[in-house]
Amino acid sequence: MSEIVVTASKGAMNHLLAKLATLMGDEYKKLKGVRKEIVFLNNELSAMNALLEELADRDELDPLSTDWRNHIREMAYDIEDCIDDFMRQVASNRKGTKGGFHQKIARRLNKLRARHQIANQIQDIKARVVEASKRRKRYMLNDDRVSSSHVKPIDPRLSALYKETASLVGIDGPKEKLTKWLMGDEQERKVVSVVGLGGLGKTTLVKEVYRDIGGKFDCKAFVSVTQRPDMTVLLNSIISQIGQLKSSHSCSVEDLIDSLREYLQHKRYFVVIDDLWDPLTWEILSCAFPQNKQRSRVVVTTRNVTVAVACCCLDDCIFNMKPLNLQDSRRLFLNRIFGSQEDCPSQFEEVSEEILKRCGGLPLAILTISSLLASNRTRLKEEWEYIRNSLGSQFATNPTLEGMRQILDLSYKHLPHHLRACLLYLGMYPEDYVFMKSDLVRQWVAEGFVSNLQGLSAMDVGESFFNELINRSMVQPEWTGYNGNVLSCRVHDMMLDLIIKRCREDNFACVTYNSHDTTGPDRCHKVRRLSLNFCGAKDGEIPGSIDSLKQVRSLVVFRKTVYIPPLSKFRFLRVLVLIFFVDCINFEEGQEWSQMTAAKVDLTSISQLFQLRYLRIQSQRQHLQSSTYYIKMPSQIRGLQHLETMIISWGSVNRIPSNIFHLPCLSYLKLPPHTRLPDEIGNAKSLCTLQYFDILNNSLENIEGLGELTDVLQFHQRMNLGWMARG
């Protein structure tokens, strides 16, 4: 399968185009009456897709362009749902090859009915597409008006350049270390990268060092790089600062580089390149800085580890910017509000500590929030508590926090298309949630954000996406393996706020915290991804404001009590995650299913989720015994032809569906210990990981069947062969 590049809007269209290509293939050659219409749709939607890609790269859109983009995205989702349903019906009819005369007639009638239905739907779809195309031409949405405003916005990074030295906190240690690196005795040109999350104070630190030691060099320059750098402007800025040379915007980039190299060849120079976004920009700029053995120095600041490595020849030249410790955070915070720590009233001490913990040591975040509190002269404790409780959601609505959001938004806007949807998906989970890399990648694959690419499996491609988000400081590493690979991550609260804001604007996901409150899109009947985040509430169900559930593709539920949504209504569900934060359950051994109350988890209706690709049932109370919960599975799930992952990490399962090992796509299966598996495990040719397999609780046929899977499984002994995973 070719690579699928995904953004919130463009990704929906890419999936649709892939489905249309399938309909034009030999497998559906009997659709002669509508093949011409499918070709028309494919051509017209491909043209729209090109415009969507252009719109995705714009910083701001005018209202007409935004509305058209949103309309096309929703239309693409609707069309894909229609095609998915048709393909399912056709596939279902093909399986029924046995039976008598009446059964064959019934199957043939079902095929004709499905073809007639898709023909009618395609005519309706064509009308929608034609109208969208006319609308685009009518309002000339592909002209220059889709671009950003010609008024150049204020770069929020600039404020960091002009902070007074006396007000800086926690900078002495990093400043001393960086200065020591730069003032070493090495004669060769030395490049030092300063890397870290936006808002950590990289620019402030480097500016202070530049002020202190810049005078010890023959010439110096400090330039800031934009997201779409103009090399002529950058090089001319350096030229104008080092003196002696005349800048010229009429010269080519090559001529400017030659001029700089010639002038710097015998001089000790010091250049700072602030906020570098990609390695290619460095490759061009570095040509202007000769290796002259004059103890010259270049400092690069970046948010991207990959860029930092590309700039340096040695690992010890990468300076990792750390957040402020609690002591420095407190000093910065209280000094801004009260002038000194000593002047802070005692009633604010506890709440201020809690606010600082949520700021995560980010100087820009601390300054933004402390400025908000300092601006309110009443200084009531209740208002501080409100800020504490609102952190993470207040950023989207309170303009006084615009500066921090702009900093984070810069990082998001510069993400490649294929990473944006992957990042937005994290908004489905609550604050401080730890994402295991392998599990998160499986969800991305199930959603269609990741696919096979140039010989690499979808999992390999997804892991590279995960690592890229780590390197870009969009997510924070949590656990690291013995070989240095990041195994899990979490999202900073303020980054999560930006993600949720984007989810709402792009109708990517709807997040609700109780039965009456949704932070999703205004058009709740068009919810595509739904997160029921009830872990902070005693109870909660799907809000009544959501008109329809059949369009939902991902459903994530966090709840303090066991709650199973009406799964049969989720007609096109691809990802289902149920996580229960259960404190205690009343359950007695030997109870029948009909007698159980809170301990009962009924999953029998998953057999109707024909598009399901990922299923996970989990309890966050790992210390509770498996026998505390009883999970009822359907007797068969033959219809789940797309299911790739099934994870049931707790509870006692009444039975595993008898035909689970006949599912063609099932690659990852995790079940509670002591679970008895159905026979015919040898048929699970696509299975890559099985956890657990209890030898004492399984049949001899299954033990022998494991031998048929030796080509795809390697065994790792854990709890008596409890863990088996592909190597």
Taking only the tens place, the pLDDT of each residue in 538-575 is 566 676 656 567 789 999 998 766 778 888 888 889 99
13: which 2 tokens?
A: 């269209």
User: Which of 122-136, 167-181, 231-245, 630-644 has the least mean pLDDT?
Assistant: 122-136
Same domain, yes or no, for 636 and 506?
A: yes
Same domain, yes or no, for 443 and 584?
A: yes
pLDDT of residue 517: 59
Res. 716 pLDDT band, cuts 50 70 90:
very low
CATH of the domain at 292: 3.40.50.300
Order the strands of the 689-691 sheet from edge to edge.
510-512, 529-534, 554-559, 575-580, 614-619, 645-648, 668-670, 689-691, 723-725, 714-716
Helix 493-505 and helix 402-413, axial crossing angle in degrees, nearest 10:
70
Q: Are the CB atoms for 592 and 631 separated by under 8 Å?
A: no
Q: Distance between CA 357 and CA 106 in Å, rounded?
A: 65
User: Which of 299-313, 409-423, 697-711 has the least mean pLDDT?
Assistant: 697-711
Same domain, yes or no, for 510 and 592?
A: yes
Same domain, yes or no, for 33 and 174?
A: no
- Pick 432 or 172 by higher pLDDT: 172
Same domain, yes or no, for 384 and 485?
A: no
Q: Each residue of 404-437: b (16+ CB within 10 Å) or e? A: bbbbbbbbbebbebbbbbbbbbbbbbbbebebeb
Report which DSSP code applies to 169: -
pLDDT of residue 225: 87
SS3 sequence of 484-536? CCECEEECCHHHHHHHHHHHHHCCCCEEECCCCCECCCCCHHHCCEEEEEECC
Residue 274, strand partner residues? 224
Per-residue pLDDT, averaged over 84-103, amounts to 62
Order the strands of the 190-195 sheet from edge to edge.
219-224, 269-276, 297-302, 190-195, 318-320
Distances (CA, A) of 212 to 158, 164, 216, 217, 552: 19, 14, 9, 11, 57
3-state secondary structure (DSSP) of residue 646: strand
pLDDT of residue 426: 97
pLDDT of residue 149: 36
Burial class of residue 643 in the structure, from the number of CB atoms within 10 Å of its CB (0-12 exposed, 13-18 middle, 19+ buried): buried
Q: Which of 644, 664, 684 lies at the terminal end of a domain, its last residue? A: 664
CATH of the domain at 25: 1.20.5
Q: Distance between CA 510 and CA 434 in Å, rounded?
A: 20
User: Which of 142-146, 170-174, 607-611 has the least mean pLDDT?
Assistant: 142-146
Per-residue pLDDT, averaged over 36-62, amounts to 70
- Pick 17 or 675 by higher pLDDT: 675
What proportion of the chain, given as a percentage, has pLDDT over 90? 20
What DSSP letter does each residue of 291-338 carry, written as one string? --SS--EEEEEES-HHHHHHH-SSGGGEEEPPPPPHHHHHHHHHHHHH
Per-residue pLDDT, averaged over 44-67, amounts to 70
**Residue 151 lies inside a defined structural domain of this protein:** no
pLDDT of residue 712: 52
Res. 704 pLDDT band, cuts 50 70 90:
confident
Residue 511, strand partner residues? 531
Name every residue whose Cβ is closer than 8 Å to that of residue 657 and which is 6 or more positions away in sequence: 607, 633, 634, 635, 636, 637, 678
Select, from the ranges 7-11, 364-368, 661-665, the one with the highest average predicted confidence (pLDDT): 661-665
For residue 549, report the phi and psi dihedrals to the nearest 5 degrees. Answer: -110, -10
**Residue 325 lies inside a defined structural domain of this protein:** no
Report which DSSP code applies to 85: H
pLDDT of residue 57: 63
Per-residue pLDDT, averaged over 680-685, amounts to 83
- Pick 371 or 617 by higher pLDDT: 617
Same domain, yes or no, for 680 and 657?
A: no
- Pick 431 or 287 by higher pLDDT: 287
**Residue 57 lies inside a defined structural domain of this protein:** yes
**Residue 109 lies inside a defined structural domain of this protein:** yes
Q: Has residue 157 got a pLDDT over 70?
A: no
Same domain, yes or no, for 179 and 140?
A: no
- Pick 525 or 221 by higher pLDDT: 221
Same domain, yes or no, for 285 and 170?
A: yes
Dump pLDDT digits (tens) for 238-256.
998 987 666 665 678 898 8
Q: Distance between CA 142 and CA 162 in Å, rounded?
A: 40
Q: Which of 115, 146, 177 lies at the terminal end of a domain, its last residue? A: 146
Same domain, yes or no, for 141 and 166?
A: no
Per-residue pLDDT, averaged over 351-366, amounts to 83
Q: Has residue 201 got a pLDDT over 50?
A: yes
pLDDT of residue 395: 45
Q: Which residue in this structure is represented by tokens 């915290």?
A: 513
User: Which of 119-123, 135-139, 162-166, 685-689 has the least mean pLDDT?
Assistant: 162-166
pLDDT of residue 456: 87
Q: Which of 356, 389, 404 lies at the terminal end of a domain, its last residue? A: 404
Select, from the ranges 252-256, 399-403, 723-727, the one with the highest average predicted confidence (pLDDT): 252-256
Per-residue pLDDT, averaged over 276-290, amounts to 91
Same domain, yes or no, for 355 and 472?
A: no
Per-residue pLDDT, averaged over 120-127, amounts to 75
pLDDT of residue 587: 42
Average pLDDT, the chain: 77
pLDDT of residue 154: 41
pLDDT of residue 222: 94
What residues make up the domain containing 191?
156-320
Per-residue pLDDT, averaged over 325-333, amounts to 90
Q: Distance between CA 402 and CA 687 in Å, rounded?
A: 48
223: which 2 tokens?
A: 């330039």
pLDDT of residue 499: 93
Order the strands of the 476-477 sheet from edge to edge.
435-436, 488-490, 476-477
Q: Are the CB atoms for 509 and 488 separated by under 8 Å?
A: no
Per-residue pLDDT, averaged over 532-536, amounts to 74
Per-residue pLDDT, averaged over 181-207, amounts to 89
Q: Has residue 44 got a pLDDT over 80?
A: no
Q: Which residue in this structure is represented by tokens 């229960």?
A: 580
pLDDT of residue 110: 63
Which residue type sits at 432?
Answer: D
Select, from the ranges 80-89, 167-176, 263-272, 465-474, the one with the highest average predicted confidence (pLDDT): 263-272
Dump pLDDT digits (tens) for 491-512.
887 788 889 988 988 888 988 8
Q: Has residue 168 got a pLDDT over 50?
A: yes
pLDDT of residue 183: 92
Distances (CA, A) of 437 to 477, 478, 520, 606, 713: 10, 10, 26, 26, 21
**Residue 344 lies inside a defined structural domain of this protein:** yes
pLDDT of residue 180: 93
Name every residue whose Cβ is closer than 8 Å to that of residue 656 and which is 6 or more positions away in sequence: 633, 671, 675, 676, 677, 678
Same domain, yes or no, for 465 and 564?
A: yes
Select, from the ranges 30-44, 447-461, 609-623, the one with the highest average predicted confidence (pLDDT): 447-461
**Residue 411 lies inside a defined structural domain of this protein:** no
How many domains are there within the chain? 5
Res. 289 pLDDT band, cuts 50 70 90:
very high
124: which 2 tokens?
A: 């309706």
Neighbours of 509 (CB within 10 A): 28
pLDDT of residue 107: 60
Helix 10-23 and helix 32-56, axial crossing angle in degrees, nearest 10:
160
Neighbours of 452 (CB within 10 A): 16
pLDDT of residue 33: 62
Say how many CA atoms lie within 13 Å of 53 toward its Cβ: 14
Residue 577, strand partner residues? 556, 616
Q: Has residue 6 got a pLDDT over 60?
A: no
Same domain, yes or no, for 614 and 540?
A: yes
What proportion of the chain, given as a percentage, has pLDDT over 70? 70
Select, from the ranges 117-126, 302-311, 472-481, 713-722, the one with the highest average predicted confidence (pLDDT): 302-311
**Residue 101 lies inside a defined structural domain of this protein:** yes
Q: Could you give the dihedral angle defined by the CA atoms of residues 20, 25, 27 and 31, in that order, rounded to the nearest 10 degrees?
A: 70
**Residue 724 lies inside a defined structural domain of this protein:** yes
